[in-house]
Amino acid sequence: MATPLEGLKVIELARILAGPWAGQTLGDLGAEVIKVEAPEGDDTRQWGPPFVERENDKTASYFHSCNRGKSSVIVDFRTDEGKAVLIELVRDADILIENFKVGGLKKYGLDYENLAKVNPKLIYCSITGFGQTGPYAHRAGYDYIIQGMSGFMSITGEPDGAPQRAGVAITDIFTGVYATSAILAALHMRARTGKGQHIDMSLLDSAVCVMANQALNYLTTGNPPQRTGNYHPNLTPYQVFECRDGHIIIATGNDGQYQCLCDILGLPEMASAPEYLKNANRVENREDMIAKLSARTVLMSKGELLTACEAKGVPAGPINSMDEVFADPQVVHRQLQVNLDGIPSVRSPFMFSDAELKLDRPSPKLGDNS
Amino acid sitting at position 196 = G
For residue 96, give the H/E element and its range.
strand 95-98
Q: For 317-349, what is each residue's pLDDT tens digit?
A: 999 999 999 999 999 999 999 999 999 999 999
Evaluate if residue 176 carries a pLDDT over 90. yes
Catalytic status, residue 143 = no
Which fold would CATH assign to domain 238-321? formyl-coa transferase, domain 3 (3.30.1540)
Evaluate if residue 358 carries a pLDDT over 90. yes
Averaged pLDDT score across all residues of the chain: 97
CA-to-CA separations, 122 to 93, 190, 295, 312, 349, in angstroms, rounded: 7, 9, 61, 54, 27
Amino acid sitting at position 293 = L
Evaluate if residue 370 carries a pLDDT over 90. no
71-74 and 32-37 beta bridge pairing: parallel
**pLDDT at residue 174, as a whole number:** 98
Side-by-side strand order, sheet with 32-37: 71-74, 32-37, 9-13, 95-98, 123-128, 197-202
**pLDDT at residue 344, as a whole number:** 97
Provide the residue ranges of all domains of the chain, joining segments of one domain with +.
Answer: 9-210+335-346, 238-321
β partners of residue 32: 9
pLDDT band at 60 (very low <50, low <70, confident <90, very high): very high
What integer is the mean pLDDT of 139-156?
Answer: 97
CA atoms within 13 A on the CB side of 332: 6
Question: Which of 92, 172, 200, 354 does the annotation list as catalytic?
Answer: 172
Residues 6+ apart with CB under 8 A from 343: 52, 54, 64, 362, 363
Q: For 100-132, what is each residue's pLDDT tens digit?
A: 999 999 999 999 999 999 999 999 999 999 999
Indicate the CATH number for domain 9-210+335-346.
Answer: 3.40.50.10540
Evaluate if residue 302 carries a pLDDT over 90. yes
